[in-house]
Structure formats: C-alpha cells, structure tokens
Amino acid sequence: MLTIGLDIGTTSLCGLVWDTESAKIVACVTHPNDASVLPRDVGASMQDPNRIADRMADLLRKLLLRYPGAGAIGLSGQMHGIVYVDSGGQAVSPLYTWQDGRANWPMASGETYVDSLQNLTGYAISSGFGLATHYYHVINGQVPPAAATFCTIADYVAMRLTGAPRPVLHPTMAASLGLFDVQGSRFDEDAGVRAGISPTMLPPVCAKGTVVGRYEGSIPVFHAIGDNQASFFGAALGREEILLINVGTGAQLSLLSADYRQVAGWETRPFFDGRYLLVGAAMSGGKSYALVEAFFRDVLQLAGSPVPSSLYARMDEALASHPLTTTLQVEPMFYGSRNDAQKRGTIGNLTPDNFTAIDLMVGVLTGIVDELHEYYQKLPQALKEQIRTITGAGNGIRKNRHLVRLIERRFASTVTVSPHEEEAAFGAALYAAVSASGYPGFGEIGIQEDRGTLE
C-alpha cells in the first residue's frame, strides 16, 4: 500500500509518499510556508490558515497525479497553535501559532496571563499554547463572535481536505493546547471553567487514530498527530530504547515510556498504543546559532564589505579543524526558557584570548548541547538504562556536523542521524499505514535512502 504523509510546519510544508511493500519513501516535496500575516498586536504570531490549506491541497494533488494508488493520508503539523472555526468548519480567525507571545504580557493585576491561567487551573502552561492564547482572547474580548470551537492548523487542513464540519483532535494534538488530562485523555473542563473558558469551545478528542473523512470521496484521511510524536515515530519508529535528539528552530529530547511518568522539567505527552512520550523541550537550538550567523553578516555590513546571503558554509569550514573547545561560557537562551520566558542569554568569562568569532560559535553550540544534557541528567536511572541508541534529527543536526560532534562528546555516545529529512511527514505516513491496515512490525521497518523526487 502507498500512504501519503503531510506535515504543516511553521516555515515549511511537506508531503511524501511511503511504499509499505518496498519500505521506501518514493516521493517527497517541500515548499516554504509563505502564509505569515502581519500581526495586529505586538507579540502576536499569525498565519493565514486558508492559504496553508490551499497550498497543502495543491501539494496533495501533485502527489496523487504521480501516485494515484495511495490508500490513506496522514497529517502532522505544528503543535500548540490554534485557529478558530465556525459551526461549518470554516476559519474565522488567523492561525495563532506557537510563537504567539501575548500571554506573557502583564494583566491589570500585574501578573501575566500565563501566570493567571496557571494559578486558576493548576496546570503548567506556556505562552503560545492554544489555551493560553484563547485565555488572552477571552479576557480581552477578542474571541471571534462566529467561533464555535478551535483546532490546530493540521486539523483544519484535514477538515478542508474532507469537508468535515467540526474538528476532532487526536490526544497528541489536544494535549499540546494545554489544560489537558494526559492520563484521562481529555480536556479538564472544570479547570477551564475556573478560568472563564466555556467547555463548549473546547474541541472533542478522539480515542485513537480515526478517519476524519475521505479526500474526493475515496481516500481516507486520518486525524492529525502532533509533529513531535510524528517526528519520533518517523525517526525512532516507536522504539523505547532510542533517545531522540531533535534540533530544529529549538531543540528537544524525546524518550518513550510504557507507563505514565512525571520527570522534573520534562513534559509527559500522549503517544500511541497507550504509551507516553517524555519530552525535554529547550528554547535554544537552531535559531540561537542563527543569531551568530546574522551577527557576522551585520559586522561585514558595518565594515562596508560584501555581505553574502548566508555565512553558514564559511562558519562550517572555519570549525572543521578546530578542537571545538572554548573557555567562553555561553547560555544561549536568547529567547527565554520553557519555564521562564523572561530569562535571557549570557556570555561570560570573556578574556582577550577567547573574544573571537570561533569561540563565539563554539560557545553557542556548546551551550545548546549543555542545556539538552541538563534535561538528560534529570531522567531517573531506570529510564537512562533503557536507552541503547541516540538518534539525531532535524536540520540543526543534519546540517551541522560540529553540533553532532559536541553532542557525541557530551553524551559519551555515537549519534545515528535519521536517514531521511522529513521525519514528521514520514511519521504521519507510517501512522496512516498502521491505522488503515494494522501494518505489522512497524517498529522494525527498514528505511532506504533512494527516494523519488517531485518538482
């Protein structure tokens, strides 16, 4: 069977075709996500949901023209963000993405919206989570009058592809919005009521992967799954002995657990088959290193020198013969941390000897790895002993060999890089295959590199 996986990322849109018989990705296409909308409010982060849905429908048509025998469609996408929809399933707002920061603003009482919501509900929640954004809108009278409920962008795309009138969220997506009872697999309506959030606005949650509807009346489209869980499924194939290190815009450690566990600093997220995914989510990652590259281009401009569009290749070359050590002490939390949005990065122990471009590069990369290792150190010994392999994923891993060297040194282990670039779309295709036909032995699927291309 051929299955199609679609992934709606913050900066890119991807679709691929998976051949379950040959165990190959036979086609893959990626487009930039060009749906950003200028925010009405400072601190808001918005995208056009209909633009995204149209682009994904066009991408799907191209895939099906080449591979018309696809038997199922799975979706994944950026978590946490929400789009409001009316009773007919049509968007009545922009997509408010996971980068929306307005819930960190102070209320009239002096506390932030996030702090207020946590105090009222008892749930830990971060700015950008859908219920934090919704709470901001409730307090400020900004919920669209026609809104019947809300959903993630991937759920909205599933509705647009099938004509479904109302979203139903998989637990991996629902939990990302906040105020979610992970063990009970439901939104905590009572907690929401304490914060003035009407239960009727909360989207329904399905127990497992079910069909939203059929694309053009024939191909089943399954509920969207969270991109974190989809990436883990695509890169680690649902195996509990693998620690996944994913470095993209931010960075994450992910590890499966057969039982519900709470680990300090880690999130416990729903997975599939009654299992849970432990996630240590760091704000430092690729976007922290991108600041270094932008700084170097700024220096060139200041000096009146030609400024290339990118300096990453030169930076990579400069580090190639370097031992990747520095006495510079960098905490690259330029965008805050999960637990403290006001936390900022620091550069310390500056001396005449380490005040160099290379030391800055090494210092930021080392700081990214150190933050990830701090999460690892918090794991109980039993979970550490469960780990047999470290797998790396994401462009930050795939495109920066020096970051991989630092991870291997810090974790005292080799890193096996996921052999394909679009783990989330691949995970969505695998999930569709399992949901559609109970594909046997999915944890042992062999992944081959030779893939078709689609222009």
pLDDT recorded at residue 439: 54
Distance CA 177, CA 420 (A): 28
- The DSSP bridge pattern shows strands 225-226 and 70-77 to be parallel
pLDDT recorded at residue 385: 93
What are the extents of the domains in the chain? 2-228+423-444
438 band by pLDDT with thresholds 50, 70 and 90: low
Q: Which amino acid is it at 215?
A: Y
395 band by pLDDT with thresholds 50, 70 and 90: confident
pLDDT recorded at residue 20: 86
441 band by pLDDT with thresholds 50, 70 and 90: very low
Asked if 227 contacts 424 with a C-beta cutoff of 8 angstroms, the reply is: yes
pLDDT recorded at residue 273: 82
Q: Across residues 360-384, what is the average pLDDT?
A: 95
Q: Which amino acid is it at 440?
A: P
Q: Across residues 199-213, what is the average pLDDT?
A: 90
Neighbours of 448 (CB within 10 A): 13
210 band by pLDDT with thresholds 50, 70 and 90: confident
Q: Across residues 256-262, what is the average pLDDT?
A: 93
Asked if 98 contacts 128 with a C-beta cutoff of 8 angstroms, the reply is: yes
Which of 17-31, 134-148, 234-248, 265-279 reaches the highest mean pLDDT? Answer: 134-148
Q: Across residues 17-43, what is the average pLDDT?
A: 90
CATH number of the domain located at residue range(s) 2-228+423-444 in this protein:
3.30.420.40
Helix axes 357-377, 401-411, angle to 10 degrees: 40
Percent of the chain with pLDDT over 90: 80
For residue range 315-364, list pLDDT tens digits in order. Answer: 999 999 899 999 999 999 888 776 676 788 999 999 999 999 999 999 99
pLDDT recorded at residue 278: 96
Higher pLDDT, 170 or 238: 170
Q: Is the pLDDT of residue 8 over 60?
A: yes
Distance CA 347, CA 362 (A): 12
Percent of the chain with pLDDT over 70: 95
Q: Is the pLDDT of residue 237 over 90?
A: no
Distance CA 377, CA 128 (A): 27
Phi, psi angles (nearest 5°) of residue 5: -115, 130
Report helix, strand or coil for 396.
Answer: helix
Distance from chain centroid for Cα 91: 22
Which structure tokens are listed for 452?
């078709």
Q: How many CA atoms lie within 13 A of 415 on its CB side?
A: 24
Q: Is the pLDDT of residue 243 over 60?
A: yes
Q: Across residues 240-263, what is the average pLDDT?
A: 92
Higher pLDDT, 440 or 407: 407
The pTM is what?
A: 0.87
444 band by pLDDT with thresholds 50, 70 and 90: very low
Q: Across residues 175-195, what is the average pLDDT?
A: 96
Q: Is the pLDDT of residue 212 over 60?
A: yes
Phi, psi angles (nearest 5°) of residue 186: -155, 155
180 band by pLDDT with thresholds 50, 70 and 90: very high
Distance CA 101, CA 107 (A): 14
